[in-house]
Structure 1
Amino acid sequence: MNDSLNNQEADELSLRELIEQYSRYWYLFVIGVIIALAIAFIYLRYTPQLYQSKATIIIKDEKTQSPLEMAAFSQFGSFLSRFKSNQIDNELAIFNSKRLISETVKELQLNIKYEVMGNIKTSEIYGSKPFEVKFQSFNDSLSREKVPTLYIEILSDSEFIIEDETRSSKATYKFGESISLIFGDITVLPNLDYAERFESYINKTIIVSYKSVEDVALSFQDRVNILNADAKSNVVELSIQTQNKEKGEDFLNELVHQYNKDAVQDRNEIAKKTSAFIESRLQIITRELDSVETNKEDFKSTNRLTDIQAEAQITLENASEFNKRQLDVSTQMELSSTMIDYMKNSSDSELLPSNIGISNENVGSAVNNYNELILYRNKLLQTSTPKNPVVKSVNEQITQMRGNILGSLENSKNALKIAMKDLNIQENIISSKISQVPAKEKIFRGIERQQSIKEKLYLFLLQQREEASIALAATSDRAKIVDSAYGSQEPVSPKKPLIYLGALLAGLLIPFGGIYGFHLLSTKVNSRKDVEKHIKTIPIIGEIPKVLKGDSDLIQHNDRSIMAEAYRILRTNLQYLFINKLEESEKGKTLIVTSTIKGEGKTFVAFNLALTLALTGKKVVLVGADIRNPQLQRYLPEHLKTNKGLTEYIVHSDMKVEDIISQSEYNENLSIVLSGAIPPNPAELLMQKRTTTFIDELRNNFDYIIMDTAPSMLVTDTILINKLADITLYVVRAGYTDKRLLDFPQDAIKDGRLSNVAIVLNNVKLNNFGYGNKYGYAYSQEERSFLQRVFNR
């Protein structure tokens, strides 16, 4: 549980430190926001405002148009494939085509731009132009793209001045006169529709710029937006953003008009071509129809036909009748032959069959008579003998009659054979006619079919010609306007709330990013926390604030500044370090002030610490122990800078400590020993026994001995005399010392090269300072301006 509490406290501390890291630079955020909002205001003030104009239309589907309009075109397949297309994307491409937009620009003369010159920016004039420039002609030697910009200043309601874009030459002209310029001829005509506003433009300069229609069309093509929001419908929304709302509305309305005009022209062109096509086909069909009818007439004349079907029916009926007659004759011939054979094979006493179907009535009557005679004879024989004269007479009659019947049958059979022969001949003739009927009928039907096709096509073309004529006279617009173009009341760009919000965010984010980047990329020590993160085993006993411009480098008498209080805190913390460090004695306490590299302020810290200790009434001596690059002289008056110092004392054994000690003019309790002349062998010199003797003598005479030594990492001097000190003050300079150099004192302590080390953080900015104003405690009664307080000056 303790671990979780510690982690929670650590997280809260990290968050608080993070907030403090940025909040201490609050003035940068304020300045950033003010600058960003000012830039946004200037941008909004001088950036042209854009208004959005919209128009909504419905593109008619050709399949839903009236039959009169489309009947003439729906039958011709690929010739009219465009009008059968139901793909709205094709029409959107036409709307946004350079050709159509160029026609719109040309119609509205949008390639000629009028602007009134202001003090800072120019504003476009549209609609209420005081005059209109007519470009009558252009010189062939010059391209229209090189037409210069004209600057026209209106002098009165009748005169004006024209300058070219170089503003090198100008001339005065009258409205309405033809003006010859280097690129061609122009005429400037006053706009009488806005005569009441003409006076407002007097003595103002109007900029007239001419661009090619193609360039302006490309510009509009990039800006116009054509959208079919619902793929299932033909509703299309057109929109464009322009500086002038009226200009955008006129452009969209004219674009729709040009689209309808283009569609009508296309359909009229198709109707004209259709009519021409129909006329040419009618001429061909008429000739072909005449040819077919002539062929039909010749075929009937050649084959002596009136009605081929009726005549074929008659022929078939005749054939059936002949077949029946042939059957009857054949039957009669068979009956006659049977009767003849029967008579030849039978006796005279036998009866002959009667009513067997022989059609010869004489034969039938003769047979009946013959049979009656037989019966009569048989009756006679029943009562008489064959020799009876009556019986003989009857037998004679029977014999004669039998011969007659047989002769009649023979004659009838021969007649039937002749009749059968004639019937066969007639049958062949009729069969021949019947066999010719299908071929003739086929040929005749082919002729009639051709005639029917030609007649129907002829009638169809006549109908289409009339419908095409009607459609040509009654062509409607392709695009139905749902909403004419209308512009927004408020500008859509630039959007003020969004710009100001973006500026506010930028004003906050840019300083935030700068601070974050600075801390991310910075390798320098900036605050106490940076030191504590790298060095956890060495205590930090003091933070020295940065000396501001105009402030004194040294502690003054009765000084209540933040720097003076910082040194007092350092002095107090030193007392705790000296506890248990030395045995109770009257000898002075020795401090070494060193740093990692040159320039970290060890001499500055040593001198002010000596002054602070001297203010308590203690006797303090400040020793310039940096005999390689002495810096203590810069805090002394000129007459003391030439005094002998530590180097001479070590070299000359007869010299006494009193010979090199100088009284400081800053405090009567402070004495100074300079480093002396720079020796050729400083390390070997400090290793002399005289160095230890020097320190021992100072301990006997002073309460505190503060030694300003050389940088520890650069030279070995400090390491050599470190054993002589009770406390080693290691100076780290904020904004100067590299964080990577903080590893050196840790390694030196670990290796035993330095001992009893405490860190003093020098040159700390007030916004990183750990005491004082952070808690609302004022160290000075000095009055500062607002800017000085803001920037910690």
Structure 2
Amino acid sequence: MTDFNNLSDTIISTNQFNLRKTVAPYIKRWFWFVLSVLICLSIAYFKLRYTTPEYLATAKIMLLSDGEATGANAAFKDLPFFSEKEDAKVEDEIGVIMSIDFFRNIVKDLHLNITHYAEGRIYTSEIYKNTPIHINFIASDSIIDQTSFSFYTKIISDTYFEYKLNEDDAPKKVEFGEKIPTFFGGMIITPSHLDLSGNFDIEMRTQITPVRAIAESLKNRVVVFQEKASSKIINIQIQDPIVDKAKDIINTLITKYNEATLNQKNIKSINTAKFIDERISLIAKDLLGVDDSIVRFKTGNKVTDVVSEATQLSSSSMENEQLLEQSKMQLRQLNYMDSALGDVNSYAPIPANLGLGDPAIAALSTKYNELISERDRLLKSAGEKNSVVIQLDQNLRSIKENLNRSITNSKKSLGIQISSLENQSNKFNSKLFSVPGQESKLRGIERKQGIKEQLYLYLLEKREEAAISLTATSPSSKVIDQAFSSGSPVSPNKKIIYTAALFLGLIIPFGIIYVKDLLDNKIHNKEDLDREFKNITILGEIPRIKNTLKASEKLLVERNDRSILSESFRILRTNFEYVRRGRNIENYDNVIFVTSTINGEGKSFFSLNTALTMSNTNKKVLLIGGDIRNPKIQSFIKTHSKEQNDVVGLTEFIVDKSVSVKETIYTYTINDIDLDIIVSGKIPPNPAELLMSDRIKELFDYVSGQYDFVVVDTAPAMLVTDTLLISQYAGHTIYLTRAGYTEKRILNFAKELHANKKLNGMMLVVNDVDQANFGYGAKYGYYGDHEKKSLFKKIFK
């Protein structure tokens, strides 16, 4: 015999993946997708409608190296101790630009800690620059910079305005210029311009925020990055609802950065110029004294010529004196540098070596000044506890110690050299003793005069160069583009938000449906039973029927009925006949038991309609209400019986042996179909014991011989044992399941019953199937009834 399950297995195995079947659960719920998309798009629209747009302002600057900039280094490039080779990394400069001090200064300069908002019904907008009022605080700026305060104002005339602290407070009429008491010392509000008519009746909220909070907010919002790798061009960006405000913030930040770099570069030049001025003042005094000595000497001694014989000796003596003076000069410079070094823990730039002969001291002083500059620059973006700053401090102390040792050694060496030169000078003087003393003194004075003049002229030249460098110093950056904006908002991004809303509108119902189907543990159609049962015949499906309140009989088939319900039972009848002919059953072949796993799966509904369908073919059919615990047949046929209380049912037949089978059989006309029925009767206290009576066999022996078909509505097989007690009288058992109600896990009980052969001729039926879930996409109904398909159904056919 060919089994319906084999056909199902073949279909499933030959089509493991069916795209239409996969997407069908989503297509049939298309309305939820459309509704979800419309809701998400509506939310996106209102979000965009009432969200303040933000604009992007961008500026570009290029960092300049010391070779490209002018300043002290350019003025003193011929002095080796002033030459500096700085290769500042772009990352370090970005760290300096992002210093919190810069942002605090920006907030103070632009007064960003005092913000005015125009209150609307839905939308609140910030007022920048063109504020109608000006606030004068009685407290000091240091207190205001740390104050958090807000209040509401509404200008009602050119001289008065309304004032309140909270939005719900009653307003107070205040005159412009009147002192308003506050917890931080009071304030005075004055109009910003004479004509205030355009600002009447506009409620305005003023917010005072601590400067540091605004500065930290700006620091988090400003973005600084390189144009590209290894580039000196830096982009500075910020987003803000007000374009002019964003531009002002970036331009002010660039200005503050340039001012800081200028001040840093001028420190060294100022210190050097100060040192040169001090040296010029001392040398000028010495030179003036030498000139006075020459005048007095020549006037008093009337000196006019040089002794020819002392020319060579005088020349040698002059060279010796020059060396001696240079050595003393170097010694004084070393003493000055030694005092300039100061304490070990002080870090101030020192004057560079002005012509010292020791290259080690010159190199160390240059390196010392370089590290001082590097330390000052890093302190802009990092604290004194920074590891790099600590390392620089250690290097500075080490260089300072080396400088002290080098200066000490040089001083000792110069002392020895000066002693030697003085001894040599004494020798020359002794040799020149024979030369007239006046001439010797005159030449000595002239020698000193020449040395002083040469050094004096050199320092004057360098002082002018230092003064010029102070005015010619350029910042460390060049502005390529001032802050600008395209004028189009960058936030919120309409395309992204609408795309996200569309995606969310599709994914939400998809996810809900997917999770719902994933967690669904119930059967829904014949295909679900095919997957659960591999060796049990499945007769078919009963479609879901929408019941009406006024015509409950519509749940029962009618004569000459072309409804979906009637067609489904005709198909089941045909399938049953096909299966029945393939079986060879000796006893009770015409007895059909209808049972299920649990209550509520539609056994009585199915039993009655099956009996009516078979009776409609002019067969003699008997329906037995075998569920004596919870009888339901009576509720279906009560409108067709006038004397329900006098009916003798199955319970009375089993209990009262005087009652014959014929006395329990009643004929009912239901929807023009005659049907014999044995109702359940009264509910007994011991139904299981009653069904074990020998009267049951007597009943089935009689009715199986008198009728073409006997349909028995029995109790749920898993809940009670009633059905199993009388199962031997069944030639065939129709096991009913209900779509969307019967759980797959409890079908293991049906498998067990079939495996243990506790129910004879077991067949399966799925009841209450949604027409959209019919197995293999089938549709019940009369073939002549053509359904008008909607456009959507035609598209997804």
User: Given the two structures, how large is their TM-score scaled by the length of structure 1?
Assistant: 0.71
- 2:114 & 2:50 partners in 1: Cα distance? 23
User: Is 1:209 the equivalent of 2:200?
Assistant: no
Aligned partners of 2:237 and 2:250 also within 8 Å: yes
Instruction: Say if 1:454 and 1:117 are closer, same or farther in 2 by CA, change over 3 A.
Output: same
Question: What's the counterpart of residue 763 of structure 1?
Answer: 768
Among 667, 682, 694, which residue is 1:689 paired with? Answer: 694
- 1:157 & 1:741 partners in 2: Cα distance? 84
User: Is 1:239 the equivalent of 2:237?
Assistant: yes
Aligned partners of 1:590 and 1:705 also within 8 Å: yes
Alignment of structure 1 residues 214-613 onto 2, 5 Å: 214-280=212-278, 462-548=460-546, 550=548, 552=552, 554-555=555-556, 557=558, 560-581=562-583, 589-613=590-614
Aligned partners of 2:589 and 2:732 also within 8 Å: no
Instruction: Say if 1:248 and 1:72 are closer, same or farther in 2 by CA, change over 3 A.
Output: same
Per-residue deviation at 1:440? 5.8
Question: What's the counterpart of residue 102 of structure 2?
Answer: 100
Question: What's the counterpart of residue 24 of structure 2?
Answer: 20
Question: What's the counterpart of residue 153 of structure 2?
Answer: 152
Aligned partners of 2:69 and 2:476 also within 8 Å: no
User: Is 1:656 the equivalent of 2:660?
Assistant: yes
Aligned partners of 2:71 and 2:265 also within 8 Å: no
Instruction: Say if 1:286 and 1:144 are closer, same or farther in 2 by CA, change over 3 A.
Output: closer
Instruction: Say if 1:54 and 1:84 are closer, same or farther in 2 by CA, change over 3 A.
Output: same
Alignment of structure 1 residues 766-777 onto 2, 5 Å: 766-770=771-775
Aligned partners of 1:535 and 1:746 also within 8 Å: yes
**Tell me, what secondary structure is at the counterpart of 1:63?**
coil
User: Is 1:716 the equivalent of 2:717?
Assistant: no
Question: What's the counterpart of residue 113 of structure 1?
Answer: 115
What do the CA deviations read for 1:200-241 (whole angstroms, capped 9, x no partner)?
543221222111111111111111110113342311101111
User: Is 1:51 the equivalent of 2:52?
Assistant: no
What do the CA deviations read for 1:553-588 (whole angstroms, capped 9, x no partner)?
722546554334333332332232332446899x98
**Tell me, what secondary structure is at the counterpart of 2:513?**
helix
Question: What's the counterpart of residue 70 of structure 2?
Answer: 66
What do the CA deviations read for 1:752-784 (whole angstroms, capped 9, x no partner)?
112322211122223213489859989989999
- 2:660 & 2:783 partners in 1: Cα distance? 47
Instruction: Say if 1:153 and 1:596 are closer, same or farther in 2 by CA, change over 3 A.
Output: same
- 1:74 & 1:565 partners in 2: Cα distance? 112
Aligned partners of 1:115 and 1:122 also within 8 Å: yes
Aligned partners of 2:152 and 2:205 also within 8 Å: yes
Instruction: Say if 1:232 and 1:765 are closer, same or farther in 2 by CA, change over 3 A.
Output: same
Per-residue deviation at 1:516? 1.7
What do the CA deviations read for 1:594-645 (whole angstroms, capped 9, x no partner)?
1122232222322333343344444433322123333434434396378443
Question: What's the counterpart of residue 135 of structure 2?
Answer: 134
- 2:450 & 2:565 partners in 1: Cα distance? 122
- 1:119 & 1:497 partners in 2: Cα distance? 27
- 1:591 & 1:756 partners in 2: Cα distance? 9
Aligned partners of 2:71 and 2:469 also within 8 Å: no
Aligned partners of 1:148 and 1:165 also within 8 Å: no
Instruction: Say if 1:773 and 1:595 are closer, same or farther in 2 by CA, change over 3 A.
Output: closer
**Tell me, what secondary structure is at the counterpart of 2:248?**
helix
What do the CA deviations read for 1:445-494 (whole angstroms, capped 9, x no partner)?
9x99x999999987665444333322222333333211111113322122
Among 734, 747, 761, which residue is 1:729 paired with? Answer: 734
Instruction: Say if 1:235 and 1:185 are closer, same or farther in 2 by CA, change over 3 A.
Output: same
Per-residue deviation at 1:692? 1.9
- 1:454 & 1:682 partners in 2: Cα distance? 139
Instruction: Say if 1:484 and 1:265 are closer, same or farther in 2 by CA, change over 3 A.
Output: same
Question: What's the counterpart of residue 742 of structure 1?
Answer: 747
Among 670, 673, 678, which residue is 2:675 paired with? Answer: 670
Aligned partners of 1:618 and 1:669 also within 8 Å: no
Instruction: Say if 1:578 and 1:458 are closer, same or farther in 2 by CA, change over 3 A.
Output: farther
Aligned sequence identity (%): 36
Q: Answer with 266-275 or 539-548: which moved more.
A: 266-275
Question: What's the counterpart of residue 709 of structure 2?
Answer: 704
Question: What's the counterpart of residue 386 of structure 2?
Answer: none
Q: CA-atom RMSD, angstroms?
A: 4.5
Question: What's the counterpart of residue 332 of structure 2?
Answer: none
Question: What's the counterpart of residue 622 of structure 1?
Answer: 623
**Tell me, what secondary structure is at the counterpart of 2:18?**
helix
- 2:262 & 2:501 partners in 1: Cα distance? 52
Aligned partners of 2:114 and 2:206 also within 8 Å: yes
- 1:453 & 1:605 partners in 2: Cα distance? 132
> Any stretches of 5+ residues in structure 1 without a counterpart?
1-5, 294-303, 313-437
What do the CA deviations read for 1:167-201 (whole angstroms, capped 9, x no partner)?
223112344544334544334344449x6xx6554
Q: Answer with 44-53 or 141-150: which moved more.
A: 141-150
- 2:118 & 2:246 partners in 1: Cα distance? 19
Aligned partners of 1:149 and 1:209 also within 8 Å: yes
> Any stretches of 5+ residues in structure 2 without a counterpart?
1-9, 292-308, 318-418, 429-443
Among 629, 633, 649, which residue is 1:645 paired with? Answer: 649
Instruction: Say if 1:148 and 1:751 are closer, same or farther in 2 by CA, change over 3 A.
Output: same
**Tell me, what secondary structure is at the counterpart of 2:724?**
helix
Instruction: Say if 1:514 and 1:192 are closer, same or farther in 2 by CA, change over 3 A.
Output: same
Aligned residues: 642
- 2:12 & 2:585 partners in 1: Cα distance? 44
Instruction: Say if 1:309 and 1:758 are closer, same or farther in 2 by CA, change over 3 A.
Output: farther
Aligned partners of 1:581 and 1:726 also within 8 Å: no
The AA in structure 2 aligned to 1:576 is: Y
Instruction: Say if 1:311 and 1:22 are closer, same or farther in 2 by CA, change over 3 A.
Output: closer
Question: What's the counterpart of residue 187 of structure 2?
Answer: 186
Q: Answer with 658-667 or 166-175: which moved more.
A: 658-667
Per-residue deviation at 1:510? 1.7
Aligned partners of 2:224 and 2:237 also within 8 Å: yes
What do the CA deviations read for 1:394-444 (whole angstroms, capped 9, x no partner)?
xxxxxxxxxxxxxxxxxxxxxxxxxxxxxxxxxxxxxxxxxxxx9669966
What do the CA deviations read for 1:480-532 (whole angstroms, capped 9, x no partner)?
21111111332212211111111111111222222221222222223322221
Instruction: Say if 1:776 and 1:109 are closer, same or farther in 2 by CA, change over 3 A.
Output: farther
- 1:289 & 1:713 partners in 2: Cα distance? 128
- 1:7 & 1:690 partners in 2: Cα distance? 47
Q: Answer with 489-498 or 617-626: which moved more.
A: 617-626
**Tell me, what secondary structure is at the counterpart of 2:606?**
helix
User: Given the two structures, how large is their TM-score scaled by the length of structure 2?
Assistant: 0.70
Instruction: Say if 1:570 and 1:176 are closer, same or farther in 2 by CA, change over 3 A.
Output: farther
- 1:545 & 1:625 partners in 2: Cα distance? 25
Per-residue deviation at 1:56? 0.8
- 1:775 & 1:486 partners in 2: Cα distance? 71
The AA in structure 2 aligned to 1:674 is: V
- 1:621 & 1:460 partners in 2: Cα distance? 137
**Tell me, what secondary structure is at the counterpart of 1:712?**
coil
- 1:141 & 1:99 partners in 2: Cα distance? 15
